[in-house]
A and B are shown apart, each in its own frame.
Chain A
Amino acid sequence: MSETKVAEIKNLVKDYGTRGFQTRVLKGIDLKINRNDFTAIMGPSGSGKTTLLNILSSIDKPTQGSVILDGKDITRISNRELSNLRRDKIGFIFQDYNLLDTMTLQDNIALPLSLNGVSSKICLEKTLELAETFGLTQHLKKYPYQLSGGQKQRGATCRALITDPEIIFADEPTGALDSKSSRDLLECLRLVNDQQKATILMVTHDAFCASYAKDVYILSDGKIQCRLSRGLTRKEFYDRIIDMQSSMGGDFS
């Protein structure tokens, strides 16, 4: 089944700080992500989720261990290749959207494709198609400051999806959203996972958010503590996550 493997991390360790004053944030993490997975990594604030995601998405470098993305060990390739990898194989969804406020939502969504030199006709078609899926058609002409948080995040998701990336990384995508917007966004993510077979890796501190995923890994104390897989309904999954969370105690919030 090796051809369905999208990403794999082995014994990942990350230290912060200078020599002698180092703190180990990630203490040896192993994780494998296959095509069409919808994985959530859940952990309390400060547990190293963002760190993990940054390393996975090649924005940051690990202290030890390897990260294999698209068949390449990203700790061993040049910066140029890393940039290309990020551009072509990875889609990002950030907690604070990171839409460019100089352009309309439509231009924001089309940005990755248009910068990649894809013909403008295809850019346009794909943008409209994605906007339709995410219920943004009426908002395309608006600038980010004219949009609600939920609309912005859905827009950012469209932007992440437009290049048909191998994998989408989402860092607390609902972190800045109210519960209704959160639900809308998560439904959308599930939809693209189901229908367009997108692979999603999401980190969150929120059990509700995590319950939309197919698999949930719980990260705590720099290690993956356990893995939960979705059963029949999301509600039931949510309850299981909450149970696990409380059984582990700690400062989950």
Chain B
Amino acid sequence: MSMGKLALQNFKSSFKNYLALILSLGFTVLIFLNFQYLVYSDALTILGQQNAEYSEILVQVVSVVLVCFIFFFLWYSTNVFLTKRKKEIGIYIFMGLTNQKIGRLYMMESMMTGGTALALGIGAGILTTRLFQMILMALSGIAADIQFHFVLQPILITAAVYLAIYFLFVLKGYVSIVRSSVLDMVSANRKNEYVQQKNWILMGKAIAGTGILASGYYMATKDGGQEVMGNVMIAVILVIIGIYLLFDGLLPVLFQKLAKNKRFLYQKERTLWINNVIFRMKKNYRTYAMVCILMLCSVTALATGFAMNERYENIQHFRNTYTYQLLGSQPDLDRQITPLIEKENPIEYSTRAEILMLDSGQDASESYQKIYGLLSYSQIRELAGLANLKCDIEEPADDEVISVSHLYLLSLMTNRNHVNVTLDGKEYHQTAEINEPYLGYLQEDMEYYLVNDRVFQMLLPKGQVLYTYNYRITDPLNYKASLDELDALTNGNPDVYTGRIAIDPENKGDEWIKVAYSVCVFMFLVFVMASGSILFMKLYNDAFEEKERYGVLQKLGYQRNKLRKAISRELAFAYVLPFAIMTLSSYFSIHALEKMMNTSLLILNMVSVAIILLFFLLCYLLSVSMYQKNAGLKKSS
């Protein structure tokens, strides 16, 4: 029989065993293809030029993340299956096949597995693109009529990326087979992964892991200014290393300690499952660490998307505080403006504010002179009352200012208090920052500070005063009605009027954020599914190894119930441990995000963790049933 035929035969006969692998590989292909399709089909163009560009960049970023993910996923899954394969095809060594030939056999079989997965993934991917895009748009709240177009490019890119990575790991497997000794090959399964390191080294690792993890959390939640971005990057790296070390050290030390304590071990079914965990220690801790990190990423991604979307909505709301805003140099222009607007629309509320434009003065530290807008306390109180805005701030002291800022989409600085501001050569202490839209859209363009009335009066002669007249009409959608008259007014008196702002409530300026939000939701689901399937796949393989052992136990007279109990415990542990550490970690990562975005994400955190819990529960139940079947504890009729 030729090698090709042999490989094909092997592939056919073990197809069922690789179904889990093929399906999960196919699934990753499907997801990747769908994202590529987003870029190359015209689905995003309906968002308009600017938004489509941003969205495309976003999708490309996600693609890069997905490529990294595929890389690790393939690495993991090929590795898991290599051990199993090694033992199965290792038998051929007794038939006189050389390592090289067995390696080639492995390559051929793997390429068949990978090829099937790719074909399935691309096939299913093409079928689902339209559905995917529709869901994405629906999630984003964007009305769109999505058509299916066949585009070749994304398929080629997907196939190329996938095959390149896959081939790399198959090649790695080949090298590993060629290099292994006969004994290795035949007993590939029987290797015990008991960690022989000294206890204190393991303890050290666990403690270092915990320490690094804690400092990661600290870095993430630490207050800071410009350096926050760097801190977050450091935190991500620290958390990943910390989780890995924690599992690397804690799991062996804990379980090997437990296994040594016979008084503990010889109770219930512990001796079975605790020893099983030790038996596959390396594989276990790596898997758990990976799953834990993956889930942490997914929860954080979801929270980021959610927070950004929420922020976007707030910004929209912020901008829509007023429908029209006119700037002028005289204090009584409302007598001209109000009747003009009232002709077309009833006014809901209107305000007027006096802004003192002032430069920072002679300050050696600043290389350029900044212009600030000053607002007086009593004026803002009055304005807030008229426009129904919050104003629970205390009047600043003579040497204090309050920054009147606006919302940022992604604010990285978590500490803006206790900074000093120089106004006309004198330092003022900033005591707080508020984001109430007292000046509406205007507030986004300049830095404004609130000072007490005395300071305002004192500084009045040093700067230039500007008046803003703000109107909110009852039907903002009808904003166009007064535009012509207002323009005629401002253009006719250029020395009095310095500007006009009108807000379109349906402005689609930053729609891409909504797309980003739904992409985040998708990433969350993908990562959660991936973590579930990684655990499932691992257990699927473990179960085959256990078959013989459970056979022996049954011969010895142990009822299936009892053995099933041991299995449920072992599997429950496999799901609970990474889940628990992820839940704890997610609290900190979400908290960091909360601080940056200045919002509460606790509920979102709980919901996303609950979703993962539910999904894991499902995976767990499936795994238990599958495990029992693969381990021969269920009659497969």
Q: Which residue on B lies nearest to A84, using beta carbons? A: B557
CB of A199 within 8 Å of the partner chain? no
CA distance A118 to B263 in the complex (A): 11
| A-B pairs with beta carbons under 8 Å apart, 17 shown | A80-B559, A86-B557, A92-B556, A98-B555, A101-B549, A102-B549, A103-B271, A107-B265, A110-B262, A111-B271, A112-B556, A114-B266, A120-B265, A120-B266, A124-B266, A143-B192, A143-B194
Q: Say what secondary structure dominates the interface of chain A.
A: helix
Q: Which residue on A lies nearest to B263, using beta carbons? A: A120
The answer on a CB contact under 8 Å between A124 and B271 is no
Among all A-B residue pairs, the 4 with the closest Cβ atoms: A86-B557, A87-B557, A114-B266, A120-B266
Using known A-B contacts A90-B557, A100-B549, A143-B192, determine if residue A120 contacts B267 with beta carbons closer than 8 Å.
yes
Using known A-B contacts A86-B556, A112-B556, determine if residue A102 contacts B262 with beta carbons closer than 8 Å.
no
CA distance A104 to B190 in the complex (A): 13
CA distance A243 to B422 in the complex (A): 116
CB of A164 within 8 Å of the partner chain? no
Question: What class of interface size applies to chain B in its complex with A?
Answer: 20 to 34
Q: Which residues of B contact A83 (CB under 8 A)?
A: 557-559
Q: Which residues of B from 264 to 307 have beta carbons under 8 Å from A? A: 264-272, 275-276, 278-279
The answer on a CB contact under 8 Å between A120 and B264 is yes
Q: Which residues of A contact B268 (CB under 8 A)?
A: 117
Q: Which residues of B from 183 to 197 have beta carbons under 8 Å from A? A: 187, 190, 192, 194
CA distance A167 to B562 in the complex (A): 23
The answer on a CB contact under 8 Å between B190 and A145 is yes
Residues of B whose CB lies within 8 Å of any CB of A are 187, 190, 192, 194, 259, 262-272, 275-276, 278-279, 549, 552-553, 555-559, 562
Name the residue among A110, A120, A143 with the largest chain B CB count within 10 angstroms: A120
The answer on a CB contact under 8 Å between A114 and B271 is yes
* Further 14 A-B residue pairs, CB within 8 A, beyond A102-B279, A107-B262, A120-B265: A83-B559, A85-B557, A86-B555, A86-B556, A86-B557, A106-B262, A107-B271, A107-B275, A113-B266, A115-B562, A120-B266, A120-B267, A124-B263, A145-B192
The answer on a CB contact under 8 Å between A87 and B265 is no
Using known A-B contacts A102-B275, A102-B549, determine if residue A123 contacts B266 with beta carbons closer than 8 Å.
yes
The answer on a CB contact under 8 Å between B262 and A124 is yes
CA distance A82 to B554 in the complex (A): 11
CA distance A123 to B275 in the complex (A): 17
CA distance A114 to B192 in the complex (A): 22
- Residue interface bits A68-98, CB-to-B below 8 A is 1, else 0: 0000000000001011111110101010001
CA distance A60 to B264 in the complex (A): 36
Q: Which residues of A contact B265 (CB under 8 A)?
A: 107, 114, 120
Q: Which residues of A contact B259 (CB under 8 A)?
A: 103-104, 107
Q: Which residues of B contact A80 (CB under 8 A)?
A: 559
Distance (whole angstroms) from the CB of A109 to the closest CB of chain B: 11
Q: Which residue on B lies nearest to A88, using beta carbons? A: B557
The answer on a CB contact under 8 Å between A120 and B262 is yes
The answer on a CB contact under 8 Å between A92 and B190 is no
Q: Which residues of A from 166 to 196 have beta carbons under 8 Å from B? A: none
Using known A-B contacts A59-B555, A83-B559, A100-B549, determine if residue A115 contacts B192 with beta carbons closer than 8 Å.
no
CB of A19 within 8 Å of the partner chain? no
CA distance A110 to B261 in the complex (A): 13
CA distance A90 to B276 in the complex (A): 26
Q: Which residues of B contact A86 (CB under 8 A)?
A: 555-557
Q: Which residues of A contact B187 (CB under 8 A)?
A: 145
The answer on a CB contact under 8 Å between A102 and B266 is no
Q: Which residues of A contact B549 (CB under 8 A)?
A: 100-102
Q: Which residues of B contact A82 (CB under 8 A)?
A: 557
Name the residue among B268, B270, B555 with the largest chain A CB count within 10 angstroms: B555
Q: Which residues of B contact A90 (CB under 8 A)?
A: 557
Q: Which of A87, A92, A94, A115 contacts B271 (CB 8 A)?
A: A115
Q: Which residue on B lies nearest to A100, using beta carbons? A: B549
Distance (whole angstroms) from the CB of B338 to the closest CB of chain A: 85
Q: Which residues of A contact B275 (CB under 8 A)?
A: 100, 102-104, 107
Distance (whole angstroms) from the CB of B185 to the closest CB of chain A: 15
Using known A-B contacts A113-B266, A120-B262, A120-B264, determine if residue A102 contacts B192 with beta carbons closer than 8 Å.
yes
The answer on a CB contact under 8 Å between A110 and B557 is no
The answer on a CB contact under 8 Å between B558 and A115 is yes
CA distance A156 to B520 in the complex (A): 56
Q: Which residue on B lies nearest to A106, using beta carbons? A: B262
Q: Which residues of A contact B194 (CB under 8 A)?
A: 143
Name the residue among A94, A102, A121 with the largest chain B CB count within 10 angstroms: A102
Distance (whole angstroms) from the CB of B175 to the closest CB of chain A: 25
The answer on a CB contact under 8 Å between A115 and B262 is no
Distance (whole angstroms) from the CB of B573 to the closest CB of chain A: 15
CA distance A94 to B553 in the complex (A): 12
CA distance A111 to B550 in the complex (A): 13
CA distance A100 to B545 in the complex (A): 11
CA distance A121 to B264 in the complex (A): 10
CA distance A11 to B266 in the complex (A): 42
Q: Which residue on A lies nearest to B269, using beta carbons? A: A115
CA distance A87 to B556 in the complex (A): 6
